[in-house]
Amino acid sequence: MKRLIMTAFAIAILSSAAYADTIKIGVIGPFSGPFALQGKNFKAGIDAWLAVNGNEIGGNDIQIVYRDVPQADPAQSKSLAQELIVREGVQYLAGFYFTPDAMAATPLLQQGNVPMVVMNAATSSIVTASPYVVRTSFTMWQNTTPIAKVAKDQGVTKVITLVSDYGPGIDAENAFKTAFEKEGGQVVEAIRMPLSTNDFAPLMQRVKDSGAEALFSFLPSGPPTLAFVKAYNDNGLKAAGIKFFATGDLTPESDLPALGDAALGLTTTYHYAVSHDSPENKAFVAAAEKAIGNPAELTFPAVGAYDGMYVISRMIEATGGKKDAKKAIEAVKGLAWTSPRGPVAIDPESRHITQNVYLREVARDESGKYINKEIQTFEKQGDPGLAFVKK
Ligand code: PHB
């Protein structure tokens, strides 16, 4: 009898070692279609984190389950999130490139007992939609507010804003106007462009006709931003003396070779540049370049994903691998660490990431590579947009 018990015990131990619990993380993003490169950057950031830290967290094997939502599509995002929670049994939801996709999945979190780690979507209100959301990316208010000050410091007083007509675009428009008017500047015209806009030449004419000394713009990073910046360069705005201000969404490193010398000098504010000079970033870039395959494709969603994985790892440790969304979220409130982008912390009130925002200029490095060269730091920026979210 004793021997039998001992054997059963040994088998139990052996099997628990051999079959450690597998924790599934469901990641929703654009993995095909026009924004596939942005999804590829999510995957590169996640793979880089797993390569550096290993595939096991607190004795649990980690499995990433990807679901593809090619363009902003809240209905598809919600149904895939539901499938991930119910059928796949994921313990965490993560990714979310587009705001509408993140928003649509937030009503599922509480009942599903699943935290959401937003790795990109940047509308301020997402964190207020559910107490189970944490964000490791940025917000439009956070990255836009400093560029309004930069514009005014450069002597610009009249600006025209052009933004994509959805959540983050509207946040960017409001953030720019609020901060620029506070500095004594004036927004002479505010244009909202349908997300489907791909011909920007007529808009460039409107910019010229507006009497503005500069434009401020936001579009979701990807094919629309490349086309927009090309239109700015090709339609003689620079030659007409109209300055360009934007968040870094418009000058992702992956677009710079295609824009070429015409992009030199474009000024943006953003939370991350691939060229950021720190040991943490060097280590991250080495791992992420390896993960993505083609180093020229590496850009910002990768760092949101990498840091998102760190946050999830701390949640898994805090819950001992058990499904407990509330405990997981509580564990990362106030969490501070050194990200590849610089020092960051999860604000315990909002669950959004506090971080430096950098002023950058498109330049060439010593090797001739186009980079977003950091020239000024706005330290420890929170999200000014939260004060404007309708309660
Ligand atoms: C968003 O939909 O929230 C979004 C998408 C792309 C960006 C920034 C924000 O570059």
How many angstroms from the chain centroid is the CA of residue 61? 26
**Which residue from 73, 96, 97 has its CB within 8 A of the most atoms of ligand 1, so it is best to mutate?**
97
Cα 219 to ligand 1 centre (Å): 7
Length of the chain, please?
391
63-116 pLDDT, tens per residue? 999 999 999 999 999 999 999 999 999 999 999 999 999 999 999 999 999 999
Cα–Cα distance, 312 to 314 (Å, whole number): 5
Cα–Cα distance, 302 to 255 (Å, whole number): 15
Cα–Cα distance, 283 to 50 (Å, whole number): 13
Is the pLDDT assigned to residue 17 strictly greater than 90? no
Cα 5 to ligand 1 centre (Å): 58
Cα 384 to ligand 1 centre (Å): 17
Q: What's the one-letter identity of residue 12?
A: A
What are the angstrom distances between the C-alpha of 247 and each of 69, 106, 256, 326, 327?
24, 26, 15, 33, 35
Cα–Cα distance, 271 to 190 (Å, whole number): 25
**Six-digit token string for 289:** 């370049």
Cα–Cα distance, 154 to 175 (Å, whole number): 18
Q: CB under 8 Å to 74, separation ≥6 — which residues?
A: 100, 101, 103, 104
Q: Which atom of ligand 1 is nearest to the CA of 220?
A: 6
Identify the helix (H) or strand (E) that includes residue 45. Answer: helix 36-53
- For 86, which DSSP code? H
**Which residue from 73, 96, 99, 170 has its CB within 8 A of the most atoms of ligand 1, so it is best to mutate?**
99
Strand partners, 159: 187, 214
Is the pLDDT assigned to residue 281 strictly greater than 60? yes
Cα–Cα distance, 50 to 190 (Å, whole number): 43
- Three-state secondary structure call for residue 133: strand
Cα–Cα distance, 120 to 302 (Å, whole number): 9
Q: Which atom of ligand 1 is nearest to the CA of 123?
A: 3
Cα 41 to ligand 1 centre (Å): 14
Is the pLDDT assigned to residue 8 strictly greater than 90? no
How many angstroms from the chain centroid is the CA of residue 214? 26
**Six-digit token string for 181:** 């008017």
Q: Tell me whether strands 56-57 and 60-68 are parallel, antiparallel or unpaired.
A: antiparallel
Q: CB under 8 Å to 284, separation ≥6 — which residues?
A: 48, 303, 306, 340
User: What is the residue-averaged pLDDT of the chain?
Assistant: 95
106-161 pLDDT, tens per residue? 999 999 999 999 999 999 999 999 999 999 999 999 999 999 999 999 999 999 99
Write down the pTM of the prediction: 0.95
204-225 pLDDT, tens per residue? 999 999 999 999 999 999 999 9
Residue 12's pLDDT band, with cuts at 50, 70 and 90, is very low
HEC letters along 233-267: HHCCCCCCCCEEEEEHHHCCHHHHHHHHHHHCCCE
Cα–Cα distance, 156 to 14 (Å, whole number): 70
Q: For atom 2 of ligand 1, which residue has the closest CA?
A: 98
Cα–Cα distance, 164 to 381 (Å, whole number): 24
Q: For atom 6 of ligand 1, which residue has the closest CA?
A: 220
Cα–Cα distance, 346 to 152 (Å, whole number): 30
Cα–Cα distance, 115 to 323 (Å, whole number): 10
Residue 14's pLDDT band, with cuts at 50, 70 and 90, is very low
Cα 120 to ligand 1 centre (Å): 6
Cα 235 to ligand 1 centre (Å): 25
Residues with CB under 6 A from ligand 1: 97-99, 121-123, 168, 220-221, 249
> To which residue do tokens 């550096």 refer?
52
